[in-house]
Amino acid sequence: QVQLVQSGAEVKKPGASVTVSCKTSGYTFTSYYMHWVRQAPGQGLEWMGIINLSGGTTGYAQKFQGRVTMTRDTSTSTVYMELSSLRSEDTALYYCARSSGWYSIDYWGQGTLVSVSS
Amino acid sequence: QTVVTQEPSLTVSPGGTVTLTCASSTGAVTSGYYPHWFQQKPGQAPNSLIYSTTNKHSWTPARFSGSLLGGKAALTLSGVLPEDEADYYCLLYYGGAQVFGTGTRVTVL
């Protein structure tokens, strides 16, 4: 069965960077895309970007351009999302979500809490 | 900045029908926006219900259906059950980026 298992919670100071991983199993890794979505406490969902797991090409929401980097390791079927220059407003649950192409999100990871505090 | 607007909250009786809508600040929503719908219950990750306007996943209950209605994307819940009480989010594609709606809290009362 398809599984997306994310890394554990992180606590970071303002200005630092964080990397969240999403280890996948149960399907052909390079046949899909992966989205990253975040949700601040008590708030709605926010789309951050997408990576093509075959070629590694990415597309980021304008809000995160220059601060986010999405990569993948095909040897371990793992996807990574790095967010830099963290500020308190980046405190949120971060989710990975699989899609076949841009238009069909299906499975989600369990979420990773990133807390940013001095 | 593109804004995708949903009803903040809706209340429905058990067994009833409710329709949620998803509007774009850029104009009418068409199939080219590939609307998605997600359900999220407290403390859980979102659950994918609908993609590309009308398509259901294998796990999507038959009582959920997607459509286009009056220039908006729509999600209709028919024969509502108590476990359908949740937050619902739409997602629209804008040619290189995607934007979530503001979310609708559905209360079953």
**DSSP characters over A68-105:** EEEEEETTTTEEEEEE-S--GGG-EEEEEEEESSSS-E
Q: Which residue has the tokens 């068409």?
A: B30
Query: Which residue in B2, B48, B60 has the most chain A C-beta atoms within 10 A of its own C-beta, making it the best mutation to test that interface?
Result: B48
Q: How many Å lie between the alpha carbon of A16 and the closest alpha carbon of chain B?
A: 26
Report strand pairing: A10-12 vs A112-116.
Answer: parallel
B91–chain A Cβ distance below 8 A for any pair: yes
Distances (CA, A) of A30 to A57, A90, B15: 12, 29, 43
| Residue A59 with chain B: CB contacts under 8 Å | 96-97
The pLDDT profile of chain A, 118 residues, written as one tens digit per residue, is 999 999 999 999 999 999 999 999 999 999 999 999 999 999 999 999 999 999 999 999 999 999 999 999 999 999 999 999 999 999 999 999 999 987 899 999 999 999 999 9
Tokens standing for A114?
A: 């990133």
Query: Is A17 strand, coil or helix?
Result: coil
Interface residues of chain A, partner chain B, Cβ below 8 Å: 35, 37, 44-47, 50, 59, 61-62, 95, 97, 102-111
User: Each residue of B58-103: pLDDT tens digit?
Assistant: 999 999 999 999 999 999 999 999 999 999 999 999 988 999 999 9
